[in-house]
Amino acid sequence: MHSDPKVHLRLRRVAVRVENVLKGAPLSGEITAYYFTWDDGFDGPRPLGFWRFGDRRVWWLRWDSGVLRTVCDGWDHCTMPVRSGAHPGYRADPGKAIDYALADLVLTRGEGAESEAGFAAEIAWGPPERGLQGYAGYVVEKLRRLALTEHGNVKSSACTLLSVYTMDRVEDGVREDAVNAIRDAGCQCVREPSGNVKCR
């Protein structure tokens, strides 16, 4: 590692089947991507390469010396799991930040969702939140649709995340939309002794 020569990295190669390109040059079929991960033991968050065969992920890649490689090394903060299923034909709006496309993938049921529990967990985790203008309202609308159309753990996760958007720190219009969505979907939320809100 250039920043710390005592830390050894190992170059690895992985085959990736491309379903969609959200931003950048078009790619299709199967590509080869390279990444550097820890060569020795590690202590910290999830490192690059701890994926299962067949996992569906969003990858942040760049061209480097004629090959595609991850934009991060070591810790995995440049791939994101997608448990909602495949979204064939999905096209990101080039006029909007990439966060909108990530919200679409995470908060829309695709074809062959990994599992109900996996999809529900992904919803509960939520899409990236970077304070973009209008983005919170977009996420609330996606959650409203899920809460109205889904059931079981998926609906519960959508209702629970909607409750987060009813907090004081959220702008008034978004907070009001979240309150209305919870009401319209019949979400039943309770505050647990831990202080967390759980909905069904």
pLDDT tens digits, one per residue of 86-112:
999 999 999 999 999 999 999 999 998
Q: What is the mean pLDDT of residues 25-46?
A: 90
Residue 11 and residue 27: Cα distance in Å, rounded? 22
Q: How many CA atoms lie within 13 A of 179 on its CB side?
A: 10
Q: Is 34 exposed, middle or buried (0-12, 13-18, 19+ CB in 10 A)?
A: middle
Query: How would you classify the pairing of strands 30-38 and 197-199?
Result: unpaired
Q: Is 102 exposed, middle or buried (0-12, 13-18, 19+ CB in 10 A)?
A: middle
pLDDT tens digits, one per residue of 134-176:
899 999 999 999 999 999 999 999 999 999 999 877 888 999 9
What's the distance, CA 25 to chain centroid?
21
- C-alpha distances (whole Å) from 77 to each of 35, 81, 92, 153, 200 are 12, 11, 21, 27, 31
Q: Is the pTM here over 0.75, yes or no?
A: yes
Domain chopping of the chain, boundaries: 1-81, 83-200
